[in-house]
Amino acid sequence: MSLKTKFLLTLTALGCLLIAQQTDGRPQPQADANGPNDVLSNLDSIFKVGPGMKVFSTQPSGVHPNEVTDQNDDAADIICAERTAGQSYCTEVPNYLESSQLDKIDPQQFEQFSSYFKDDFMQPHNVTNRMNEEAEENFCNSKSRIIYPKSVETKESKWVLVVQHERHRQGVLVEQCEAEGSSCKYEDLMPFGVSSKCKQHYVYRSLIVLVNGVLVERMVKLPNYCECVLRFNLKRKF
């Protein structure tokens, strides 16, 4: 069975299940307390929608407070094209060498983190890969590439300078949506009340950055993959 067929069967089953939850007029003292939210919360255990897909409720969830980190204003005022466009990194930073002062860093600091100064492995895009991609069709178009960020947003939502200097470079493999916010493929075949959009997914990983003139390891936010998100309109119409 093709991925497209499985996708359509899953959506049809989801639509039937949600309609049944909303239109059943018999008393349900336990289920009515939460109604469709219980269905959504258990979708992951009921259905397998495959890679690149995600189903979620639009109900707000709790937000965990950011962890306390070092005070660092080195990159607070940096503005670049990527950051202005909503990205979590900058590949070019004005006066980067002057701001980072990397020439004045003790060489032993670089040696301490030598395992970080390398490029991520990027799998060659050969014929075999293209055949696999056709068999595992994506619902959102994306592009993979290696970047060398000079500034990046940390897990604590602070901007810091990343170590990128001569032999001490950190090449990071990222995957970004080509048209974030656009509809996923096959949306016209989805059941009534179901919509979709392509959304950029991020991951936190360790890079060596500058904090108050010292090289340290920090978790930073980087684009990881493009996912198709399904939305269900559960409002009853009278």
Output 188 or 173, whichever has higher pLDDT: 173
Quote the Cα angle for 24-27-32, to 5°: 80
Q: Looking at the domain assignment, is residue 209 inside a domain?
A: yes
**pLDDT band of 38, cuts 50, 70, 90:** low
What's the total number of domains in the chain?
Answer: 1
Quote the Cα angle for 232-236-238, to 5°: 150
190-216 pLDDT, tens digit each: 787 888 999 999 999 999 999 988 999
pLDDT of residue 26: 38
Task: Report how far apart, in Å, the C-alpha atoms of 173 and of each of 114, 128, 222, 224, 226 are.
Answer: 18, 20, 9, 8, 14
Q: Looking at the domain assignment, is residue 228 inside a domain?
A: yes
Q: Looking at the domain assignment, is residue 86 inside a domain?
A: yes
Q: Looking at the domain assignment, is residue 136 inside a domain?
A: yes
How is residue 217 written in tokens? 């390891």
pLDDT at 151 over 70: yes
- What range defines the domain where residue 217 resides? 3-60+67-232
pLDDT at 12 over 70: no
- CATH code at position 109: 2.10.90.10
Q: Looking at the domain assignment, is residue 24 inside a domain?
A: yes
Q: Looking at the domain assignment, is residue 148 inside a domain?
A: yes
Q: Looking at the domain assignment, is residue 237 inside a domain?
A: no
80-138 pLDDT, tens digit each: 999 998 899 999 999 898 989 998 899 999 999 999 999 998 777 554 454 455 556 78
pTM: 0.64
Helix (H, G, I), strand (E, B) or coil at 55: strand
